[in-house]
């Protein structure tokens, strides 16, 4: 109950925009179809695997950036 009476500030707009882009990239089926592995591998890795690794890295980075923004604002636990 340490946060009782504490005001919650909204996330900065750039964090919200980054999350929206993450959701679109992770959930948009046309992007999956474009990287379905039929094309040439990139650095010896199938394009679909490389795509999923890149998307998961981008999502993880956005979560860390959102936490850093909260710490900078003094809102982190």
| Structure confidence at residue 72 (pLDDT) | 85
| Structure confidence at residue 43 (pLDDT) | 82
In 3-state terms, what secondary structure has residue 45? strand
Tens digit of each residue's pLDDT (9 = 90 or more) over 13-57: 999 999 999 999 888 866 666 666 566 677 887 777 788 888 999
pTM greater than 0.75 (yes/no): no
Tens digit of each residue's pLDDT (9 = 90 or more) over 50-77: 888 889 999 999 999 999 988 888 776 6
**What is the chain's percent helix, strand, coil content, to nearest 5?**
60, 5, 35
| Structure confidence at residue 25 (pLDDT) | 87
């Amino acid at each position: 109950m340490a946060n009782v009476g504490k005001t919650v500030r909204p996330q900065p707009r750039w964090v919200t925009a980054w999350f929206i882009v993450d959701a679109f990239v992770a959930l948009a089926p046309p992007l999956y179809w474009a990287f379905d592995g039929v094309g040439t591998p990139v650095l010896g890795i199938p394009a679909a695997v490389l795509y999923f690794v890149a998307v998961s890295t981008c999502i993880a980075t956005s979560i860390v950036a959102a936490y850093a923004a909260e710490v900078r604002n003094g809102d982190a636990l």
